[in-house]
Amino acid sequence: MAYFPPQGGYPGAPGGYGAPSAGYGAPGTGYGYPPAVDPLFGYFSAVAGRDGQISPEELQRCLQGAGYGNGWETFSLETCRLMIGMLDRDGNFQMGFEEFKELWNSLNQWKHTYYTVDRDRSGTVNEQELHQAIRTYGYNLSPEAFRVVFKRYARREQTIITFDDFIAVSVRLRCLSENFRRRDTHQNGTAMLSYDEFIRFSFVV
């Protein structure tokens, strides 16, 4: 497979999307806090099982309970599956509290980007605004690749992207790029993949 990496290299390493921006969602993650007093732990523990893990369905309820979304819109179950897959390093398709805190950081950054590019305050992003967001992340997609991404998630006669779909796009671009980068040993935009590898990392997201 061939892929042309962005100028200056690939975007940041996992978790490298910046700290939460003030004023979005619940209080900050508080990485220095023990779980018992962490501001996010209450949301997580309210839905987690005895094993301290949450499923996509539980993540959906957790984020809804935390008031995280875009007005009335909540995250779809499919987007919650994508979010868990992005951070599922042990392959159990569940999410622990440390992973949840990492996700919260990424969500805050993505939400900040969403509101930044939504200059007309429509509550959605159009094709030009999505392109600006993807460039902000550091991805340098070809026009053909970008059109595929936009048409895959656009709604209302293929003219707008909702917040839920914007997060899905952000998750998939991050996860696919990180998986590809690990196999791009020469960092030249090409990688050798077996069919099995392609299926496995494609279906994670």
Q: Mean pLDDT over residues 24-51, rounded?
A: 65
Residue 17, φ and ψ in degrees, nearest 5:
-95, 10
Domain coordinates in residue numbering, the chain: 41-204
Stretch 104-132: mean pLDDT, rounded? Answer: 94
pTM (two decimals): 0.79
The tens digit of pLDDT for each residue in 39-60 reads: 888 889 989 988 899 999 999 9
pLDDT at 39: 82
Nearest to 78 by CA among 177, 178, 173, 165: 165
Q: Please say whether the beta carbons of 133 and 125 come within 8 A.
A: yes
pLDDT given for residue 137 in this prediction: 94
Of the ranges 63-72, 104-113, 170-179, 189-198, which one carries the lowest mean pLDDT score? 63-72
Res 138: pLDDT: 92
Whole-number pLDDT of residue 69: 65
In sequence order, the 6+-apart residues with CB closer than 8 A to the CB of 173 are 134, 137, 139, 149
Per-residue pLDDT, averaged over 128-149, amounts to 94
Q: Which residue has the tokens 């539980």?
A: 58
187-203: per-residue pLDDT in tens?
Answer: 888 988 899 988 988 88
Domain 41-204 = CATH 1.10.238.10: yes
Contact status, residue 172 vs residue 166, Cβ threshold 8 Å: no
Report which residue type is found at 150. F
Does the pLDDT value for residue 24 go beyond 50? no
In this prediction, what percent of the chain has a pLDDT beyond 70? 80
Among 105, 100, 111, smallest CA distance to 28 is for: 105
Res. 31: pLDDT tops 60: no
- What pLDDT is stored for residue 146 in this prediction? 96
